[in-house]
Amino acid sequence: MEKILDNDYYDLIINNVSIPNYNSDNITMINFRHSLLHIPAAGSTPCLLGEYPYHTFPTLYTLNSTISIEKSGIGPVQRNPFLNLTGRGIIVGVIDTGIDYRHEAFLYNDNTSRILSIWDQSIQSNNPPVGFTYGTEYNRESINIALRSDEPLSIVPSVDTVGHGTSVASIIAGRYNPANSFTGVVPEAELVVVKLKDPKQNLRSMNFVKPDVLCYQESDIMLGVRYLETYAQNASRPLVICIALGSSQGGHDGTDALSNYLNYLSRLPGIGISVSAGNEGNDRRHYFNSTTAPPYYNNFELRIGENDSLFFMEIWPYALGRVSIDVSTPNRESTQPIYPTIGSCRKFDFIFTGSTVWVNNFIFEEESGDQLILLRFQNPLAGVWNIRVQSMENEPISFHSWLPSGDIITNDTFFLNPNPDTTITSPGDGISQLTVTAYNQFNDSILIESSRGYTRNGLIKPDIAAPGYQIPCAIPRNLYGTMTGTGAAAAHTAGAIAMILEWGIPRGNYTSMTGNDVNRLLIRGAARDSSIIYPNNIWGYGRLDVNNLFRRLTNI
């Protein structure tokens, strides 16, 4: 079995400069900067996270969704005879839960597929993509053969059991269906789809994530991005990548490996990237404190629900000084102060509650250079836990704390005094990828669950707001439904990016256009209310308005 699939090996994301032998079967190359190092998992404990740097363990990503085309100015552009931008010549890349390739939304009028390729990472065969070692690639020829068959799944067995990827792909590029009042934003674009495999169980265990939680592994997403990039390069066609997934792990400053990769690609000609901001704005999973006067400590409370028997929490102090941490159970049994060290890892078994907490208080986290405190809870007593963060230098302190995103925990676990700001999920906190938040297009109000900026290091995010409430979409088994959340908004905006790239590259108006160029055009053309100051941490630079962009660009 390939080590990238073998649960007896951990996958660590490492910098290529530290690789002694590229040809080793312990190495899987991701891109120009990062590779995976496969290390044995036998005999490891949670304190392996401490022996190896925190940022080398792939983070876990969750789904970011559960149309008014007129509201975003797309309809007028499609109807304008001088523009009529429908995505022709553009490849749309979706990295998600897969796609129902049999759905009519992804077929031409002759019932052949508009999907160029599917890389299903979850099906192991002898046909992985060239340059990759796992999964199965299904090209359009094999998909069309399957579509003509009485038993298509016997030929192309790739399915979307969740439906999220099918919906995202259809919002971007679904075929017009007047009977269901449905159309994608760019119904003539073609699709390349990556279906993500489940994360390794050893990574779930290391992060104290339950085995049945739906989530995905950062390294698989990165390899999916490389697959899309390679496909578009070989086809010599512009590419739009949509990532409707997010993670609250990491420093929320764009230094993680996936954010860095997308930042790089966004500055290349012909590649546009739309990522969702996250749906963490109303889940009470972020806490912030700034203590500027003595005594220089802060007590805050975490309410743990009965059904959250395994989960993690991160605390990121700013790098002005060191802090200690003291964790107390609801019955006031305490760890006593835990001080930062290099590679620290301590286990605390609470006698009177049966709870166990593993604490890593890293004096510095190598990717960001800041201190990081990682708490991992096992069978915690339900109720209100007390956490004290205290300066070791008797000076002002400031820190953020985040709980996991999505369904990794239930809504019964939350901070009692939460802060909705700085809740943008990765990779939406990167520099050059377009980060999209969601608003209700029927009343022009932001969705309360939409994550808010800015990033921990003050970068302006989100970039733009797009319709994200009950967006019409395709769902598996040839059905139609709606999708709500920033994932839906990111898909809607990915279609807008495809329109601009079509205008720029296939039509010859701006053949060297980069994703970052597209982002700036969208920001400049955004609709803004006179009563709101922009940019801000809720709306970014305003609401998506493609028609206004072209009106300013071409004087139409």
CA angle 226, 230, 232 (to 5 degrees): 120
Domain membership flag for residue 454:
yes
d(CA 329, CA 378): 13
Tally of domains in the chain: 2
CATH number of the domain at 477, please.
Answer: 3.40.50.200
Mean pLDDT of 25-41: 91
Mean pLDDT of 157-169: 97
pLDDT tens by residue, 35-69? 999 999 887 889 998 888 899 999 999 999 873 34
pLDDT tens by residue, 96-106? 999 999 999 99
Q: Are 143 and 118 in contact (CB under 8 A)?
A: yes
Tokens read off for 455: 């990033």
pLDDT at 42: 83
CATH number of the domain at 389, please.
Answer: 2.60.120.1290
pTM of the model: 0.96
Three-class DSSP category at 326: strand
Say yes or no: 438 and 501 in one domain. yes
pLDDT tens by residue, 195-250? 999 999 999 999 999 999 999 999 999 999 999 999 999 999 999 999 999 999 99
pLDDT tens by residue, 293-320? 999 999 999 999 999 999 999 999 986 7
- The pLDDT confidence band at residue 82, using thresholds 50, 70 and 90, is low
Q: Are 147 and 156 in contact (CB under 8 A)?
A: no
Number of Cβ within 10 Å of residue 67's Cβ equals 27
Does residue 324 have a pLDDT over 60? yes
Last residue of a domain, one of 415, 446, 470: 415
Domain membership flag for residue 234:
yes
Q: Are 106 and 99 in contact (CB under 8 A)?
A: yes
Say yes or no: 120 and 210 in one domain. yes
Last residue of a domain, one of 386, 415, 444: 415
Say yes or no: 367 and 463 in one domain. no
Say yes or no: 290 and 310 in one domain. yes
Tokens read off for 62: 């969750």
Q: Are 120 and 86 in contact (CB under 8 A)?
A: no
Domain membership flag for residue 363:
yes
Domain membership flag for residue 164:
yes
pLDDT tens by residue, 407-452? 999 999 999 999 999 999 999 999 999 999 999 999 999 999 999 9
Does residue 506 have a pLDDT over 90? yes
- The pLDDT confidence band at residue 77, using thresholds 50, 70 and 90, is low
Does residue 537 have a pLDDT over 70? yes
| Sequence-ordered list of residues with C-beta below 8 angstroms from that of 325, at least 6 positions apart, any chain | 315, 335, 337, 338, 359, 361, 373, 375, 387, 388, 389, 390
The full length of the chain comes to 556
Say yes or no: 135 and 219 in one domain. yes
pLDDT at 76: 63
Compute the 3-state secondary structure of the chain and give helix, strand, coil in percent, each to the nearest 5: 20, 30, 50
Angle between helices 546-554 and 515-525 (to 10 degrees): 100
Higher pLDDT, 516 or 42: 516
pLDDT at 84: 78
| Strands 464-467, 434-440: pairing kind | parallel
Mean pLDDT of 84-111: 96
Of 242, 247, 276, 272, whose CA–CA distance to 173 is shortest?
Answer: 242
Three-class DSSP category at 415: strand
Say yes or no: 276 and 293 in one domain. no
CA distances, 252 to each of 225, 292, 425 (Å): 21, 23, 7
**Burial class of residue 276 (count of CB atoms within 10 Å of its CB; 0-12, 13-18, 19+):** buried
Say yes or no: 304 and 268 in one domain. no
- How much of the chain exceeds pLDDT 90, in percent? 85
Domain membership flag for residue 40:
no
Of 101, 185, 187, 178, whose CA–CA distance to 147 is shortest?
Answer: 101
pLDDT at 67: 35
The mean pLDDT value of the chain amounts to 93
**Domain range for 336:** 286-415
Last residue of a domain, one of 357, 392, 415: 415
d(CA 257, CA 198): 19
Domain membership flag for residue 473:
yes
Say yes or no: 250 and 130 in one domain. yes
Say yes or no: 265 and 146 in one domain. yes
Distance, CA of 343 to chain centre: 28
pLDDT at 78: 64
Angle between helices 486-504 and 515-525 (to 10 degrees): 110
Say yes or no: 266 and 300 in one domain. no
- The pLDDT confidence band at residue 21, using thresholds 50, 70 and 90, is low
Does residue 81 have a pLDDT over 70? no
pLDDT at 74: 58
Q: Which long-range contacts (CB under 8 A, 24 or more apart) does 324-327 make?
A: 324/361, 324/389, 324/390, 324/392, 325/359, 325/361, 325/373, 325/375, 325/387, 325/388, 325/389, 325/390, 326/387, 326/388, 326/390, 327/357, 327/359, 327/375, 327/385, 327/386, 327/387
Q: Are 119 and 193 in contact (CB under 8 A)?
A: yes
Mean pLDDT of 359-370: 90
pLDDT at 2: 86
- DSSP notation for 70-123: TTTTHHHHHH-TTT----TTPEEEEEES---TTSGGGB-TTS-BSEEEEEETT-
Say yes or no: 90 and 220 in one domain. yes
Does residue 73 have a pLDDT over 80? no
Domain membership flag for residue 15:
no
pLDDT at 50: 85
Does residue 1 have a pLDDT over 80? no
Tokens read off for 179: 């009977």
Say yes or no: 169 and 154 in one domain. yes
d(CA 429, CA 346): 31
SS (H, E, C) 356-398: EEEEEEECCCCCCCCCEEEEEEECCCCEEEEEEEEECCCCCEE
Q: Are 310 and 210 in contact (CB under 8 A)?
A: yes
Domain membership flag for residue 8:
no
Q: Give strand pairing partners of 325.
A: 338, 389
